[in-house]
Each structure stands twice: as C-alpha cells, then as structure tokens.
C-alpha cells in the first residue's frame, strides 16, 4: 500500500453489525487511527467490539488488524483485493 493510499485509508471510521443464523448480533467499529503499538505487524487499525444482542449481549473486545495488498484480480475492471489478518480478544460479561 502506498503512503498516499495509507493516508486515505487511515481517515476511515466504519460501523458494522454481524448477525449469526439465530439473528443474534455483534456491533463493532473499525478505526484506522487506533493502532495497537504492541502488535506492529497489525498496523492498519483496530476493530472495536462494542456490544451485542442475544447470546452476544455484554460482549466487548478489540481486534487489531493489518492491510496486506494482494495482486490485482484477473479480468477487466481493475479490481484489487487485500488480506486483512486480525488478532481478536473478547469477553462476554453477563
């Protein structure tokens, strides 16, 4: 990833909802400005687990992640891909 791409990427803050087959949800954010300096290989940002419903009620945690560029995908359109490894720690307090 070029330094210009990294600057643009670091400006992102995204909210997510993950749902399982039972309909229970985990709420989270991605913040590319929040880096875990103790894990320098995961230097792209942190996925913050903020809560959940059903069996995930009371969940909290964090997931530092990396952004590893991959070769351009075959075919037209100029599509690209990234490998985004995570290191997750979480707990559920009832």
* Tally of domains within the chain: 1
Q: Is residue 80 part of a domain?
A: no
Provide the domain limits for residue 17.
3-69
Q: Is residue 34 part of a domain?
A: yes
Residue 54: per-residue pLDDT: 97
Specify whether the CB–CB gap between 9 and 1 falls below 8 A: yes
* Token duo for residue 38: 């103790």
Q: Is residue 21 part of a domain?
A: yes
Q: Is residue 48 part of a domain?
A: yes
- Per run of 10 residues, the mean pLDDT along the chain (length 94 residues) is 52 78 92 75 84 96 87 79 86 90
Q: Is residue 62 part of a domain?
A: yes
Residue 57: per-residue pLDDT: 96
* Token duo for residue 39: 């894990």
| DSSP letter, residue 16 | E
Specify whether the CB–CB gap between 73 and 80 falls below 8 A: yes
- Mean pLDDT, the chain, integer: 81
Q: Is residue 91 part of a domain?
A: no
């Amino acid at each position: 990833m070029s330094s210009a791409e990294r600057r643009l990427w670091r400006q992102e803050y995204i909210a997510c909802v993950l749902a399982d087959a039972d309909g229970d949800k985990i709420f989270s954010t991605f913040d590319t400005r929040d880096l875990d300096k103790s894990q320098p290989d995961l230097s792209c940002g942190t996925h913050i687990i903020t809560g959940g419903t059903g069996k995930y009620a009371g969940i909290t945690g964090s997931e530092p992640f990396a952004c590893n560029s991959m070769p351009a995908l075959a075919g037209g359109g100029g599509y690209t891909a990234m490998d985004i490894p995570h290191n997750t720690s979480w707990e559920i307090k009832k």
